[in-house]
Amino acid sequence: MDSRYMLEKSSVGTRVGGTDFNCRAGRSVLRDARVPTVERSGPMPAYTHGPVLYKFVMDASSAADVKSERSSSKGNGLSPGGRILHDMEKTGLGDQKDSGSSGILKRASPTHCPGINGQLPGGFMHLDISNPGKQAELASSFRAAQVQNVPPSERQSLSSSHIPVPRNRKPSGHADKEVMAATVLTSLSTSPLVLYPSSASTVPEPASRAWKEVLSASYSSSTSGNWSWDASDQSVPSTPSPPLSNDTNKSFLLSSQGDDVSEDATESTHFMFEDPIPRKRKNSMKVMFKCLWKNCEKVLSTSSGIQRHIRTVHLGRNNDSDYSDGEEDFYYSEIEVNMDSLTEGLSSLTPTSPTTAGPPPVFPPPLTDVPHSEHINMTGSQSHAPTLLSQSAPSTLCHIRTDHAYQATAPVSIPVGPELAGLDSGNGTGPGTGTGNGISVSWQSPPVIFKGVPGPVTHVRTVSIGEKRQPAANTHTTVNKNHALVTPPAKSTPGTRKPRGEAKKCRKVYGMEKRDMWCTACRWKKACQRFTD
DNA sequence: TGTGCCGGGGG
DNA sequence: CCCCCGGCACA
Q: Measured between alpha carbons, how far is A93 from A111 in angstroms, rounded to an integer? A: 12
| pLDDT tens per residue across all 533 residues of chain A | 333 333 223 333 333 333 333 333 333 333 333 333 333 333 333 333 333 333 333 333 333 333 333 333 333 333 333 333 333 333 333 333 333 333 333 333 333 333 333 333 333 333 333 333 333 333 333 333 333 333 333 333 333 333 333 333 333 334 444 445 444 444 444 433 333 333 333 333 333 333 333 333 333 333 333 333 333 333 333 333 333 333 333 333 333 333 333 333 333 333 333 333 333 333 456 677 887 877 777 787 877 887 888 788 877 766 555 555 666 677 777 776 665 444 333 333 333 333 333 333 333 333 333 333 333 333 333 333 333 333 333 333 333 333 232 233 333 333 333 333 333 333 333 333 333 333 333 333 333 333 333 333 333 333 333 333 333 333 333 333 333 333 333 333 334 556 666 667 788 888 877 777 888 888 888 888 888 76
Within this chain, do residues A179 and A120 fall inside the same structural domain, yes or no? yes
Within this chain, do residues A462 and A434 fall inside the same structural domain, yes or no? no
A512 in contact with nucleic chain C (CB within 7 A): no
- Phi, psi dihedrals of residue A180, rounded to the nearest 5°: -60, -50
Within this chain, do residues A513 and A422 fall inside the same structural domain, yes or no? no
Counted domains in chain A? 3
- Contact at 8 Å (CB) between A381 and A431? yes
Q: Measured between alpha carbons, how far is A197 from A204 in angstroms, rounded to an integer? A: 13
Within this chain, do residues A431 and A465 fall inside the same structural domain, yes or no? no
Within this chain, do residues A455 and A438 fall inside the same structural domain, yes or no? no
Q: Does A143 fall in a domain?
A: yes
Within this chain, do residues A423 and A279 fall inside the same structural domain, yes or no? no
Q: Does A382 fall in a domain?
A: no
Q: Measured between alpha carbons, how far is A77 from A350 in angstroms, rounded to an integer? A: 29
A457 in contact with nucleic chain B (CB within 7 A): no
Within this chain, do residues A430 and A467 fall inside the same structural domain, yes or no? no
**Which residues, including other chains, have CB under 8 Å from residue A197's CB and lie 6 or more apart?**
A211, A215, A239, A240, A353, A354, A356, A402, A403
- Contact at 8 Å (CB) between A359 and A273? yes
CA(A497)–C1'(C8) in Å?
10
Q: Does A300 fall in a domain?
A: yes
User: Which residues share a beta bridge with A289?
Assistant: A300, A334
A468 in contact with nucleic chain C (CB within 7 A): yes
- Phi, psi dihedrals of residue A296, rounded to the nearest 5°: -115, 120
A500 in contact with nucleic chain C (CB within 7 A): yes
Q: Measured between alpha carbons, how far is A458 from A508 in angstroms, rounded to an integer? A: 22
Residue A518 structural domain = 451-523
Q: Does A224 fall in a domain?
A: yes
Which residue, A371, A392, A412, sits at the end of a domain?
Answer: A371
**Which nucleotide's C1' sits nearest to the alpha carbon of A501?**
B4
- Contact at 8 Å (CB) between A407 and A360? no
Q: Measured between alpha carbons, how far is A125 from A102 in angstroms, rounded to an integer? A: 24
Flag residues 460-519 of A with CB < 7 Å from strand B. 462, 497-498, 500-501, 504-508
Instruction: Enumerate the nucleotides of strand B whose atoms come under 7 Å of any protein CB.
Output: 3-8
Instruction: Enumerate the nucleotides of strand C whose atoms come under 7 Å of any protein CB.
Output: 1-7, 9-11
**Which nucleotide's C1' sits nearest to the alpha carbon of A507?**
B3
Within this chain, do residues A459 and A342 fall inside the same structural domain, yes or no? no
- Contact at 8 Å (CB) between A522 and A469? no
